[in-house]
Amino acid sequence: MADFIINTDDNVYIPAEDSYLLADNLEIEKGQSVLEIGTGSGVVAMYASRLTDRITVTDINFDACGLARKNFEENNIENIEILFGNLFEPVKNRKFDVILFNTPYLPTEEGEVLEDTINYAFDGGINGRKVIDMFLNEVGNHLNDGGTVQLIQSSLSGNDETLTRLDELGFIAEIKASEHFFFEDITLINAYKI
């Protein structure tokens, strides 16, 4: 699958099964505007760039923004806007047709928190939902009517809780794909704004 040049950095999440679960199942139509939260190395956005030319990515990790820029340049991808910041802060008053997010979904105890910026990539707080819930609370404000949200999370961070919350927010949501690993399922949840 990796037919892009993908540089990595010790401070940035290295693309793994969850990245490709999202990249393999993108639901993006030509001309749609796309926002990817937490782009990391930029690999998902690179696959999205084959489907549309209106892409914005954000990351709270400054190293990730730099690495994504390098990866886009080395793959001659020029249609992706890179913004530094947490979740939707960099796109305050903007709306998109598709929003993508490979969430930091690992339940993380206080003693497991790392001092490095790589911590942003996986630290989901005690129950794995710290960032997921912040994302869900805001996502509807940044999605056009009829838009789609695609997010990756783990069964350890409460799939049913996410589906219920999306339902309460007026979305039609479903688990679109999943992969089983040792002690968890990594799931792709698709939600459609009615």
Residue 51, burial from CB neighbour count under 10 angstroms (0-12, 13-18, 19+): middle
Does 188 have pLDDT greater than 60? yes
Q: Is the CB of residue 26 less than 8 Å from the CB of residue 48? A: yes
What pLDDT score does 171 carry? 96
Per residue in 35-94, pLDDT (tens digit) is: 999 999 999 999 999 999 999 999 999 999 999 999 999 999 999 999 999 999 999 999
What pLDDT score does 122 carry? 57
Burial annotation 110-149 (CB, 10 A radius, 16+ → b, else e): eeeeeeebbebbbbbbeebbbbbbebbeebbebbeeebbb
Higher-pLDDT residue of 130, 1: 130
What pLDDT score does 107 carry? 60
Q: Is the CB of residue 176 less than 8 Å from the CB of residue 163? A: no
User: At 155, is the pLDDT very low, low, confident or very high (cuts 50, 70, 90)?
Assistant: confident
Does 16 have pLDDT greater than 60? yes
Q: Is the CB of residue 140 less than 8 Å from the CB of residue 161? A: no
Q: How many residues does the chain have?
A: 194
Tell me which CATH code domain 30-193 carries: 3.40.50.150
Does 166 have pLDDT greater than 70? yes
Query: Angle between the 130-139 and 159-168 helix axes, to the nearest 10 degrees?
Result: 20
